Chain A
């Protein structure tokens, strides 16, 4: 039941547009790179200083001086550029990146997002996430809809320390595609075989449900 990590990435890839500069967060967002529609040109920004990130290297081309924001060895495409962290975040804060895709622990109907800290457990740090959500006009959140024991992560108000406010617009979960508009989540699509009732049951925030909620197709 519900979408796999790959399917969430596949669904998000449909939001890409030709000529987009895109920043992908760690985890599911990274997988989106595998599903860019054929013939479309998209360039990936990595906040440690790459525009035009490519695929993973081979054993022969691996280079310790070339990593992505997840510290993984990568390659670059033809026509790529390297720059400092200050230049990278000028790009991000300045609103030059067309689309940011990132994960979250929780989102809420005020547009807030929590992704960097779980009090009582360890604080890993926010890395570049706070800058990314503050700078991007356009962000897509990839996350699981509810915890394993059924606690909703689509909330009226986030319970965890926030990464940013007024930043959530589109959320793709394992169960649904949700759009946040005027302080309410609107149910746009549902995962194959998942009922509207189940999505409603696992959504704590107010949910606007249109008469017809199409199933996603893969």
Chain B
């Protein structure tokens, strides 16, 4: 590695330093825009006791679902876990901890972590289980709940579409989702992409995430499994 070149040679190198009981943030919404090869590599490494901040937990056999199968995840922090049968089983049997967080609050807690904001007030969840034990403050006659930012993740795992070697990132369609914020919130941010180009080849006007947030970059090949294949009748 030299200068601002973020490229690593292998998935082993991409995840060097990953240890048991670490905190991860993992991009993706459902199976869309997930760092699928980094997840596979974690399964292969057998790292255990992980806490994962991710909107969903994949499905049986794909995405974070494969880490659930091997019981590598201790705790999930997510907004929705409805589609994963194994997930249900592990939560009910007490083998997996679950912290449900409203989707917008989840996104903002990640964004705040990356932006150096320790907490924020939101109307979301006021008067519900989510607000229990949290400070409430009135602003303009309406109650808002104090939500702390997440701590920075030991590893932030991101899937982007294109990058230059400096780690400037561009996402494609709805595969962006949580990835742009997660890229900013890692002690080590690892990004896997479909294409890597030379600096200067991406238009600076259309960079979604500037390279300053990115530590390691690798080009992968992606299956991009579809969760709900729906077509026009």
Contacts and interface: CB of A to CB of B under 8 A. Distances in A.
Interface of A: 46-50, 55-59, 62-68, 70-74, 82-86, 88-89, 92-93, 112, 117, 122-131, 134-135, 161-166
A67 B232 contact: no
A58 B111 contact: no
Interface of B: 29-33, 55, 78-83, 88, 91-92, 98, 100, 102-108, 110-111, 122-130, 161, 171-181, 208, 224-233
A73 B224 contact: no
Contact of B129 (A74, A129, A135, A161): A161
Given A49-B29, A71-B30, 7 more contacts: A46-B174, A62-B229, A71-B31, A82-B171, A83-B176, A84-B208, A85-B103
B127 A162 contact: yes
Contacts of A57: 230-232
Nearest to A53: B174
A71 B32 contact: yes
B232 A128 contact: no
Contact of B232 (A55, A64, A70, A131): A55
Given A48-B29, A64-B225, A128 B104 contact: yes
Contacts of B29: 48-49, 67, 71, 85
B32 A64 contact: yes
A127 B29 CA distance: 11
A181 B122 CA distance: 25
Nearest to A130: B102
A166 B123 CA distance: 11
Contacts of A134: 122-126
A71 B128 contact: no
B127 A56 contact: no
Contacts of A112: 127
Contacts of A117: 129
Contacts of B231: 56-59, 62, 73
A89 B226 contact: no
With a 10 A CB-CB cut-off, give which of A85, A88, A163, A164 has the most chain B CB atoms: A85
A83 to B, nearest CB: 7
Nearest to A76: B173
Contacts of A46: 174
Contacts of B103: 47, 85, 89, 126-128, 131
A107 to B, nearest CB: 14
Nearest to B194: A65
Contact of B227 (A63, A67, A85, A161): A67
A131 B102 contact: yes
Nearest to B230: A72
| Leading 7 A-B pairs by shortest Cβ distance | A89-B104, A131-B104, A165-B127, A64-B224, A125-B80, A124-B82, A130-B102
B142 to A, nearest CB: 9
B105 A131 contact: yes
Nearest to A110: B127
B181 A82 contact: no
19 contacts: A46-B174, A55-B232, A59-B231, A62-B231, A64-B31, A64-B224, A66-B174, A71-B29, A85-B55, A85-B103, A85-B178, A86-B107, A112-B127, A122-B91, A123-B98, A126-B79, A130-B105, A130-B124, A162-B128
A89 B180 CA distance: 14
A83 B172 CA distance: 10
A84 B232 contact: no
A90 B105 CA distance: 10
Contact of B124 (A65, A72, A84, A93): A93
Nearest to B111: A86
B177 to A, nearest CB: 5
Nearest to B161: A65
